[in-house]
Amino acid sequence: MGRKPNPRGKDRTRTISLDGDVAEIAQNLADKSQLSKVLSQLLRTSYGISDDISRLEATLNAAISERKALQQREEDLIKEITEQKERLVNRQNHILPSLYQRQGVIEERLKRLTKERAMALNPTDSRKKMKQITENTNLLNKVLDEIKELEIHGEKTG
């Protein structure tokens, strides 16, 4: 029974003489039908034939690694965009309405405090009400600034 033909090219049978120290190794390989394969691989390595293949494989592996890194970066960006959108929706649907409600409560309180100050009989009560009006006005300005910022961010992304 003969060997199968080599798909890489024409098979040529050769007769070689080996030194005594490697002759036994060669005989063991020949008994296992591996001598031709091992010699072919050693000759390719010695004469640089497999180096071209190794370089191409290394280039391919580098390209695969780059592609995987890009895919991971793409997935990370998609995740970050999704999280940003969820935060925006949360602000628009939950935080903004509560800020509008706080604005209404503070405005009502300011109206009440203004009436109470107008009706105050002594200067101490009037100063006390004025201090409360100032504090509530500052609080209202902070709430209005938050509302304005959320509405601006909503317009940019919406």
Q: How many structural domains comprise the chain? A: 1
Residue 56 lies in a domain: no
Asked whether the beta carbons of 18 and 26 are under 8 A apart, the reply is yes
CA 63 to chain CA centroid, Å, is: 19
**pLDDT (tens digit per residue) in 26-85:** 888 889 988 888 887 788 777 767 667 778 888 999 999 999 999 999 999 999 999 988
Residue 94 domain-assigned (yes or no) = yes
What pLDDT was estimated at residue 53? 77
Q: How would you classify residue 9: left for phi > 0, otherwise alpha for psi between -120 and 50, otherwise beta?
A: left
In a domain, 97, yes or no: yes
pLDDT tens digits, 11-29: 677 788 888 888 888 888 8
* 50 belongs to a structural domain: no
Q: Return d(Cα 79, Cα 1) in angstroms, integer.
A: 62
- Decide if 93 is inside a domain: yes
Domain that holds residue 119: 79-157
pLDDT exceeds 80 at position 133:
yes
Determine the Cα–Cα distance for residues 26 and 8; give it in Å rounded to an integer.
23
Return phi, psi of residue 114, to 5°.
-65, -45
Residue 52 lies in a domain: no
Say if 86 falls within a structural domain: yes
- CB within 8 Å of 125: residues ≥ 6 apart: 117
Residue 95 within any structural domain of the chain: yes
Query: Is the distance from CB of 96 to CB of 151 less than 8 angstroms?
Result: yes
d(CA 6, CA 12): 10
